[in-house]
A and B are shown apart, each in its own frame.
Chain A
Amino acid sequence: MRPGVGALASRVNRVAALAVLGFLALHIAETSLAVFAPPVYDATMRLYRMPPFVVAEFLLVAAVMYHVLWGSFVMVVELAPRTARRRRLVWCALAAGYAVTLVAVAYIMIFPLFPGGR
């Protein structure tokens, strides 16, 4: 039996949440370098300005925003169960808002990587 859209979206949410949690643990370790090894921290921050890491940062922001949107949808349904009757409409609206926001974030974070970017 093929999983429905809701089940797939829920699994994507779990993957995004795990990724963000894993990043949080790494972030704590990396920030500790500012205390215990400042030159290594500065070198790490220079490394993060390279394109592959900027793309990874963009994916992190995308994962956080997806998790926030999905969690908001879950709480709205828990508080107002009738929303579940129109969940496809709500999903479409959330997906549209998510796509617009991602494009805006990509314009700010990714476009400057290209020659002639903003």
Chain B
Amino acid sequence: MTVVASDRRAAAEPAATRRSPDGDVPRRRNAETIAWIYTRISALAMVILVLAHLAIMHLTGARDALSAAFVRSRLAEPGWLAFDLALLVLALSHGMTGLRAAGHDHVSSGRTRSVVTWACAIVTVVLAVFGTLVLALLHLRT
């Protein structure tokens, strides 16, 4: 059986690389691609939540009635709790993914980029855990 150069190249390609149907453009799914896709998906998922949150909190009379008791009474309802949790996680992850990408635009060193990525990941987790804890406590303490 004759082995041609294209077979050797195909065998040498890492598993994460796939060719497009026409075989010309290599497709790569790596962390950058996943982050790019996630930024778009999270934006679409939360655009309605964000606009609703802004409209309710800033354009209605809710602003003038805002107090700790009001927040506790609103978060006593599971629907509002789920709304705020989804908004928290989506907004944090979307924002930090974008911040990571913006940071990488200004940093060329691979090591510094790694620091930026880890810093964004840690801040995301810390704020998400803290925010979830706050919402859960507000839900439970009614």
- Interface residue ranges, A against B (CB under 8 Å): 14, 17-18, 20-21, 24-25, 28, 31-35, 38-39, 41-42, 45, 48-49, 57, 61, 64, 68, 71, 75, 78, 105, 108-109
Q: Are A28 and B50 in contact (CB under 8 A)?
A: no
* Cβ < 8 Å to A, chain B residues 63-114: 63-64, 66-69, 71-72, 88, 91-92, 95-96, 98-99, 102
Are B102 and A38 closer than 8 Å at their CB atoms? no
- State whether B99 touches A68 (Cβ < 8 A): no
Prevailing SS type, chain B contact patch: helix
Contact B134 A31 (CB under 8 A): yes
Given the complex, which residues of B lie within 8 Å of A18, measured CB to CB? 99, 102
Total interface residues on B, using CB and 8 Å? 31
Q: How far is the CA of A18 from the CA of B102 in the complex (A)?
A: 10
- Residue interface mask B99-142, A partner, CB < 8 A = 1: 10010000000000000000000000001001100100110010
6 further A-B pairs in the complex, CB-CB below 8 A; given A17-B95, A41-B71: A31-B134, A33-B68, A34-B71, A61-B58, A75-B40, A109-B59
